[in-house]
A = this chain, B = another copy of it.
Amino acid sequence: MVEVRRLLRSPLYWLLLFAPATLVLELAAASPIWVLLSASLAIIPLAGLIGEGTESLAAHTGPRIGGLLNATLGNAAELIITIVAIREGLLELVKASITGSIIGNLLFVLGLSMVWGGVRNGRQTFERRRAQTDSIQLLLAVTALAIPSLFGQSASGINGATEVEALSLGVAALMMAIYGLGLFFSLRGGDGPLTRRSAEEVVHKPAWTVRGALTVLGLSTLGVVWLSEVLVHQVEPVVRGLGVSQFFLGVILVPIVGNIAEHLVAVKVAARNQMSLSVEIAVGSSLQIALFVVPVLVFLSLALGHPLTLVFNGFELIALIGAVVIVNQVASDGESNWLEGAELLALYLILALAFFLLH
């Protein structure tokens, strides 16, 4: 019960109280917006628990298997939400949340880390070589991801749905292959971005037992599945009621809900002046989304009868490519300060405002 006591010490886990609240609100047939908010708040700590469970397990299995675990379960909560959304046919929400996760990591999380770390530690440096290698891989992955959209958008381009579908599947298959090669590369000794160092080593938390970790993993996964169902069902009523677009919910809400626990870790290590790890988390997490989450969603969506094609809209492409090019420049420099962080945050706010104004 040490675990439970530790949990209660972290304010994040008080949000677990929103799980029963969601149940009550749903039974009471409350207004969709309240149910959506409550479910969202309840997912946050559960996503955090999946992350902690994974890291505890990794501590027991040694670095290799641990790296694999982190690489596959690192975005578990978001994967669950998006799979549930695909089953409901909310494909725009899913694609928006892929975009939102990547720009959230690259602009919001990195920006906040640089501001917070910079205010506390002044000019910060990070391992330039590693950051650059990782961000080049991200540039390659996001370019590949963007190709079907860029080809599909053109008027004289690929029109037939079959062809866009074929191109999407081709991209997904190659992404998955690169993901596999990337894991193999890391396991062979290279320190790739997919199996990054555990943040645990830095934050120094005691690991749970294997049994404890598995229990936590199982229970919180179940919780996230249930709450995702609830959340996804509220999307359409909320969109109709509030006039906010499905797109905006996908870009801003889903990524925050699914990843905020990990985001907090990135900011925390930046405050401890370990900017290298902070950059690794932001870039590595984006890369896992592009190389692992996206292909899994594309293939699963076929099985679920709602095929997801990799055709992002123009705003998503602008935001994705812009964020990745900027992070490549930022990483090639090897140092950061709070002003650079503030500029990344400003860019995120401008994008969020633009997404909000879209219909």
Contact = CB atoms under 8 A, between A and B. Distances in A.
A350 interface: yes
Interface in A146-167: 147-148, 150-151, 154, 156-158, 163, 166-167
Interface residues of A, number: 64
A59 to B, nearest CB: 26
Contact of A139 (B157, B158, B329, B339): B329
Contacts of A174: 346, 349-350
Given A139-B325, A167-B357, 16 more contacts: A132-B333, A136-B333, A140-B340, A140-B343, A140-B344, A144-B347, A150-B318, A151-B358, A154-B315, A156-B314, A157-B358, A158-B357, A171-B350, A174-B346, A181-B339, A329-B332
Nearest to A315: B151
Contacts of A158: 354, 357-359
A313 interface: yes
A136 B330 contact: yes
A347 B315 contact: no
B357 A144 contact: no
A140 B326 contact: yes
Nearest to A132: B333
Contacts of A202: none
Interface string A292-324: 000000000000000000000111001000100
